[in-house]
Amino acid sequence: MTSLSSARICQTMQDPLFDAGLRRLRLDRARRAGQRDDVLMPRVAEDLADRLSFVLRDFPLAADIDSAGPEIAETIAKLPRVGRVLRAGSAPGSDIVFTGEALPFAEGSLDLAVSALSLHWAEDIPGLFVQIRRALKPDGLFLAALLGGDTLIELREAFAEAEAETLGGVSPRVIPFGSPQDYGGLLQRAGFALPVVDSERITVRYGDLYGLFRDLRALGATNPMLARARTPLRRDTLARLFEIYEEKFSDPDGRLRATVEIIWLSGWTPHESQQKPLRPGSAKARLADALGTVEIPSGVKPERN
């Protein structure tokens, strides 16, 4: 896995990772074809709604930031504590259309910002998190789902081995994703309070690798990296890729496994009402009293019976 901290935090717009024009072209092509994610997005939308249902406060104005489909905005709009929901992004039907990574929100204008399965495509993830924090009101909530570092780990390994054997080298085939630790650090760096990060692994099974490739094309998620190989994939490399994948990542019934790691992030904009850690030495009760034991002074060795 490529660490987000090394591959993405240091990334600048002068040294981009992705071919933005190619990325938009593939997304537009998938949308015109009516192709949608029927596996991950419905599940993520349901999970996001569940997470929000445990938050006992109202969100009069929410924004769905560039989620990969309309399911997120439609789902949270049905929650009783969520008021108006704005879809913001490049997809048709968005209430606010924008491209690039400059968010179109006034400072302190939102109560809730959500996003699903898109922010890992940002060139400047740290800067984007800062923009989201600034767009939220004090005690506003940011809740997002991103793809994590174990996503497509099987495809990455099989491609690397096949290319090393047939070409004598390896080219980047899967974009670098982050780990929960990476994203937790970015939330704190962006100024969010009470950051929480957790992850889950989902296994999707396919009859063959063509099924996985079809799903990636349907999502507009085929390789858009500027460092990608520009020559067509050789037949011997593709054949060896299929062999390695089937040897290493097939189940007893012959179906192939593909891992998707979903990382959930949440953070609040600071507010005086939020819990704060106690200052060192400010505790009003001793641990020894709570445990019913005798506190031994520093430097005194306990006697053994």
Output the average pLDDT for the chain: 84
The CATH architecture one would assign to domain 4-276 is 3-Layer(aba) Sandwich (3.40)
Burial letters 136-166, b for 16+ CB under 10 A, else e: bbeebbbbbbbbbbbbbbbbbebbbbbbeeb
Which helix (H) or strand (E) covers residue 200, if one does?
A: strand 193-206
**Range in 4-18, 25-39, 129-143, 227-241 with the lowest mean pLDDT:** 4-18
| pTM assigned to the model | 0.81
In angstroms, the Cα distances linking 113 to 82, 103, 214 are 11, 12, 31
Looking at residue 87, its pLDDT comes to 95
3 vs 22: CA distance, rounded Å: 24
Query: Per residue in 203-221, pLDDT tens?
Result: 999 999 999 988 888 777 7
Looking at residue 283, its pLDDT comes to 53
Extents of the domains making up the chain: 4-276
Helix, strand, or coil (residue 113): strand
For residues 136 and 87, is the Cβ–Cβ distance under 8 A?
no
- Dihedral, 237, 28, 10, 153 alpha carbons, nearest 10: -40
In angstroms, the Cα distances linking 263 to 36, 132, 166 are 21, 18, 34
Average of per-residue pLDDT across 230-241 = 89
Q: Is residue 172 over pLDDT 50?
A: yes
Query: Per residue in 27-72, pLDDT tens?
Result: 777 777 666 667 788 999 999 999 999 999 999 999 999 987 789 9
